[in-house]
Structure 1
Amino acid sequence: MKDLKPTNKDAYALILDAIDVGVYKPGDRLVESELAERFGVSRTPIREALQRLETQSLLSRDGRSLIVASLNHNQLAELYVVRGELEGLAARLAARHATEEEVRVLRDMVQEDKALIGDPKAMSRANRRFHKQVHLASHNRYLVQQLDLVHRSMALMATTSLAAEGRGEKALEEHAAIVDAIAAGDGDAAYEALRSHISIAFEARLRLDAAGYGTDI
């Protein structure tokens, strides 16, 4: 069987994932030839992936170079407003449509993630998995698509709110409250629990930024 050649989607996903996990941080320059070598992909799909990321405002121009975009204070605030509303809606719909199996998976995530407390990077990855599972439990493909766009922009943040002291434990308590509301089929409570969770995370991030924390995502 012949090896499958990387597709444009592969190149796009590879670069996006590298930004998401902090290999490339806001302000870093992305060079087509270096990316092609790093990922073992030809330059054409890399070029097309960079164009797509620029169109989505995940990359910006610095002269002739493309760099990973960054978010200013106003953009950050706007993103959290949209995220809070969409995530709240996802939780409300999950309360209506989540299966028993999906609820058990969410509960297991909360329990398993306790072992990651004290490791902000690992907690951040686990946090994304948890939120993605809530999105999927909404059983609304269009909402999931919009939340995917929002979470791509979240990759442009230089810090994770989970780096704040005590934030990991508190975030898991908030996750547990979200799952309880979904399990109870209480859409209003699920909406409010997730909206509150996002609001608290935003405040924690603002405090970290004000304190001048580093750039680990």
Structure 2
Amino acid sequence: MNTETDLAFAPPPLPDEPFIKPVPRIQRTLREIAAEHLREAILRLELRPGDRLVERTLCEKLNVSRSIIREVLRELEGEGLVSKDNRGPIVRQPTREELEQIYELRALLEGTAAAHCASRASTTQIKELSKFLKNIEISYKKQNFVSVIEQTDSFYRQMFLAAQCDVAWELVQKLKGRISVYRAITIASADRQTTGLAEMHAILEAIKNKDAAAASLASSRHVQSAGRIALSRLGPSSPLANKKNP
């Protein structure tokens, strides 16, 4: 063995610090800020399903360039908040048939996840669910419906994580993306704060009791209730159904 040769070709010791450090993000880009503002305007129902999104108007309101507005519209289209017709981008408006299918599929997926969560959730995971539900109540009291949606998503993300249903969660996220506006409408409806919270408490109570059947039933009923509210907004007496595009 040639010790000198071996030492000559020995790899250098690894440094304590990594060779390439991530660049810290000091501030968000104009596109990110503009996307957040437009997203919140849609979720707060300042812009309603079917409303036309005119680039020039958005440029003036958000004080950004047309190229940024186009990037933002593409991003929100990917999130399911915006779609296009033959006249340009609009706030997305699903059909009745689409809503029915989506809520039916959500009820199946979320009911299954709730059942598995009741069987598999740890004490720590159940505490996290309780925390998110408390945050939902606080957001409702503040009438912050964007926060209600965010905290509700966190609750369900934790439920699917505890249930070990990763693929089902991905599917639910895609389905929710296609009806984001109607989720905002149902959450902001007059009686949803009372009935919706009661239904979510029933889900959590069943999970705490390790009652898979009750958890599945409570979760499915919660989705079905939201679906009925969303579909009612498409009825002939609904202001959304009668709303004319400019």
Q: Which residue of 1 aligns with 2:160?
A: 138
Q: 2:87 aligns with which of 49, 56, 64?
A: 64
Aligned mate of 1:85, from 108, 114, 120: 108
The answer for the alignment partner of 2:73 in structure 1 is 50
In the TM superposition, structure 1's runs of 4+ consecutive aligned residues that sit over 6 Å from their partners are 7-10, 115-119
- Paired with 1:109 and 1:211, the residues of 2 have a C-alpha distance of 36
Percent identity between the aligned chains? Answer: 26
| Corresponding position of 1:175 | 200
Give CA deviations for 1:60-88 in whole Å, capped at 9, x if unaligned.
33433211121222122112112212222
Q: Distance in 1 between matches of 2:137 and 2:78?
A: 38
The reply on whether 1:76 has 2:76 as its aligned counterpart is no
Post-superposition offset of 1:2: 8.3
Query: Could you state the TM-score of these two structures normalised by the residue count of structure 2?
Result: 0.66
Under a length normalisation based on structure 1, what TM-score does the superposition of the two structures give? 0.73
Alignment of 1:1-217 (within 5 A): 4=27, 6=29, 15-36=38-59, 38-39=61-62, 42-54=65-77, 58-110=81-133, 122=144, 125-126=147-148, 129-139=151-161, 140-157=165-182, 159-160=185-186, 163-165=189-191, 167-207=192-232, 210=235, 212-214=237-239
Q: Which runs of 5+ in 1 are unaligned?
A: none
Q: Considering only aligned residues, what root-mean-square deviation do their CA atoms show, in Å?
A: 3.7
Distance 1:124 1:191, change over 3 A: farther
Report the Cα distance in structure 2 between the residues aligned to 1:144 and 1:41, rounded to whole angstroms. 35
Structure 2: tracts of 5 or more residues without a match: 1-23, 241-246
8 Å Cα contact 1:95/1:190 also seen in 2: yes
> Matches of 1:114 and 1:191 in 2, distance apart?
22
In 2: Cα distance, 1:150 partner to 1:18 partner: 21
Are residues 54 and 163 of structure 1, via their aligned partners in 2, closer, same or farther at CA, if it must alter by over 3 Å? closer
Kept after mapping to 2: 8 A contact 1:95/1:183: yes
